[in-house]
Amino acid sequence: MRGILRLGTGLEPLLRAIRFHQWAKNLLVFLPATAGHQIFNLDTVLSLAVAFLSLSLMASSVYIVNDALDLEADRWHPTKRLRPFASGTLSLRAGSGLSVLLFSVAIAVALSLPHAVLVLLLAYALISIGYSVYLKRQPFVDVFVLVALYELRLVVGHESTGVRYSYWFLMFFGFMFMSLALLKRYNETQFASAQKSSRIPGRAYFASEGPMLSTLGISCGVAAVVILALYINSSDIRLVYRRPYLLVAWCPIILFSFARLWRAAVHSELDDDPVLYLLKDPLTYVLAVAGGIVAYLAL
């Protein structure tokens, strides 16, 4: 009996399958209200907290499905092979039950939010599963799908609170997410090269395509900073900031962060997920505080 619990339904593998550390990505729902200077409104924060919880539960449900579909490819990967399904510490039956439970709770939590949020959650689930089943094997289509899933998190933040949309905001983060998605693929080519493999299992890219992916990814990162610079020089920003010229300091902060990420990838020091790599790095929070100080002074 203990052996069955350990291999099939033990609590530790179930908790690992949920991937609580990935919930950090869903903090993006707070960004629209933060950028719109409405984050100190209690009703807004409560709505965003509910949106964060429902989106995180839905994401965990989908992660379990994705892990089940990626089982063979994960067993090849140097770090993903430690995931519960790939390592054999969690049965597919137990994982499926947990996925259904998380999905149901996510829907129940989202019912307290505007109907658009529920639609977005279902869209997130469908796109994510479509990505795992087919889209991830289509070159560059997979990258755009990842960007869409990140942008969807921002849209959830808008729809949960009614914060008005900004063209500049969505375009800036669109290019930033594109750079991160390409960085993720580049990092996988590094893993493939280290394993003496010509192709990334389960993906549409070859190890030899790393330089192309890095060129595109770095270009997208630079494009995001250019969009930020144009926004700082636009008339729109004067509706929010009294001294917008101070925000120019954001540009080198962001460029420095991107440069560190790509350097880590080149030297094979990057984790599987660049966002989690940033969250683990203490310097990230130092730079974030510096950016916050600049924003405060600009107000």
Q: What are the tens digits of pLDDT across the range 42-86?
A: 999 999 999 999 999 999 999 888 888 776 666 666 666 767 767
Nearest-10 Cα torsion for 148, 250, 34, 173: -10
Angle between helices 210-232 and 167-194 (to 10 degrees): 160
Residue 288 resides in a domain: yes
Alpha helix ranges (H) inside 134-166: 141-161
What is d(CA 299, CA 243) in angstroms, rounded to the nearest whole number? 6
Residue 206 resides in a domain: yes
Angle between helices 115-133 and 42-69 (to 10 degrees): 20
Residue 147 resides in a domain: no
pLDDT at residue 76, rounded to an integer: 66
The domain tally of the chain equals 1
Residue 297 resides in a domain: yes
Encode pLDDT of 225-276 as tens digits.
Answer: 999 999 999 888 887 888 999 999 999 999 999 999 999 888 888 876 787 7
What residue numbers bound the domain in which 291 lies? Answer: 166-299
Residue 125 resides in a domain: no
Encode pLDDT of 86-140 as tens digits.
Answer: 776 777 788 888 899 999 999 999 999 999 999 999 999 999 999 988 888 889 9
Q: What tokens appear for 261 in the block?
A: 């990420």
Residue 264 resides in a domain: yes
Residue 246 resides in a domain: yes
Residue 202 has pLDDT above 70, yes or no: no
Closest C-alpha among 195, 210, 187, 159 to residue 276: 187
- Cα angle 204, 206, 207; round to 5: 140
What is d(CA 229, CA 17) in angstroms, rounded to the nearest whole number? 41
Half-sphere exposure of 23 (CA within 13 A, CB side): 18
Closest C-alpha among 30, 57, 60, 58 to residue 46: 30
Residue 121 resides in a domain: no
91: exposed, middle or buried (C-beta count within 10 Å: 0-12, 13-18, 19+)?
Answer: middle
Stated as kind and residue range, the H or E segment containing 31 is: helix 31-35
